[in-house]
């Protein structure tokens, strides 16, 4: 059983919609991540939060807006997405941002129509 929980598991949205992906972990981890994974490709890092502060933004378009309300929660707000943004979005966490094992959630499969 995963200790990183993501909701929803599946989301279909139009290009003018506003939606959010949510992630929660209860392992006391202080680093949280968003990854994007296209079909048959490895995950690509999008954002890193360390102690609730955004530390890394891998040049992600502003239509993706991350938020870390507290140390257990991580959101990804979506607005005006394009069909090419359809992908699996993986949330992950680790104890800190040094070299620590990263634990992944089950992912949220996003389809933009």
Nearest of 111, 107, 77, 110 to residue 6 by alpha carbon:
107
Torsion sign, CA atoms 49, 29, 20, 36? positive
Number of residues that bind other proteins (CB under 8 A): 28
Tell me: does residue 73 bind other proteins (CB under 8 A). no
Nearest of 38, 46, 33 to residue 6 by alpha carbon:
33
DSSP SS3 for 27: coil
**Residue 70 beta carbon to other proteins: minimum distance, rounded to whole angstroms:** 20
6: left (phi over 0), alpha (psi -120 to 50) or beta: beta
If the CB atoms of residues 70 and 99 are measured against other proteins, the closer one turns out to be: 99
Site string for other proteins, 32-51 (x = CB under 8 A): -x------xxxx-x--x---
**Residue 16 beta carbon to other proteins: minimum distance, rounded to whole angstroms:** 27
Tell me: does residue 53 bind other proteins (CB under 8 A). no
Interface residues with other proteins (CB under 8 A) are: 2, 31, 33, 40-43, 45, 48, 55-56, 88, 90, 92, 94, 96-107, 109
């Amino acid at each position: 059983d995963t200790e990183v929980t993501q909701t929803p598991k599946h989301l279909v949205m139009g290009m003018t919609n506003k939606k959010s992906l949510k992630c929660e972990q209860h392992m006391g981890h202080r680093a949280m991540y968003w990854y994007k994974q296209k079909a048959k490709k490895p995950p690509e890092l999008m954002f890193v939060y360390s102690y609730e502060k955004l530390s890394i933004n891998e040049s992600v378009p502003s239509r993706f807006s991350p938020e870390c309300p507290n140390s257990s929660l991580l959101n990804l707000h979506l607005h005006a997405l394009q069909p090419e943004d359809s992908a699996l979005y993986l949330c992950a966490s680790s104890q800190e941002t040094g070299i620590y094992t990263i634990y992944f959630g089950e992912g949220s499969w996003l389809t933009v129509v």
